[in-house]
Amino acid sequence: MEDVFYLTRGWRNATYIMFGALICVFVSLLIYLFFDPFLRKGIFFILPVSLIAIGASMCGILQVDEKIFWDNHSVRKVSRLVNREILLEDVKGYKFAWNYLHIVPHKGKGKRILVSTYVCGMRLLHEELVSRYPDLKQQK
């Protein structure tokens, strides 16, 4: 049996709209930068800030389609930018921090997997983790 968890449709659409708007704003700022003499004075500041904001927005759009797969052998995070897998026997525990659920592996067994609390089926994933692994936040 394999469970698939992904970001809810509302959050995906909101993210597309927000990052799309940011990209439009910074692309238009770049265009006006080369035509407006007032903005041309700040080219060394506006150009890198705009390019960084456009790049970060593109990364956000690419990351929205991530999916978390939970099966009998492993937990996997699959997206266009980050692909991680932890075998279930290598999971040390879990903890909540801010709006993310951290699935933490044993030292040297991989990197932690961050799952947004806005994914469909978060309760099911949380129940699976509670039934198998300790809460690392309570252990401290």
Q: Confirm whether pTM is higher than 0.85.
A: no
Q: Which pLDDT tens digits describe the chain residue by residue (140 residues)?
A: 688 999 999 999 999 999 999 999 999 999 988 888 888 888 889 899 999 999 999 999 999 999 999 998 999 999 998 899 999 999 999 998 888 899 999 988 889 999 988 898 888 888 888 888 888 877 76
Please say whether the beta carbons of 99 and 106 come within 8 A.
no
How far apart, in whole angstroms, are the C-alpha atoms of residue 64 and residue 69?
A: 15
In the structure encoding, which two tokens stand for residue 79, read together?
A: 């997206």
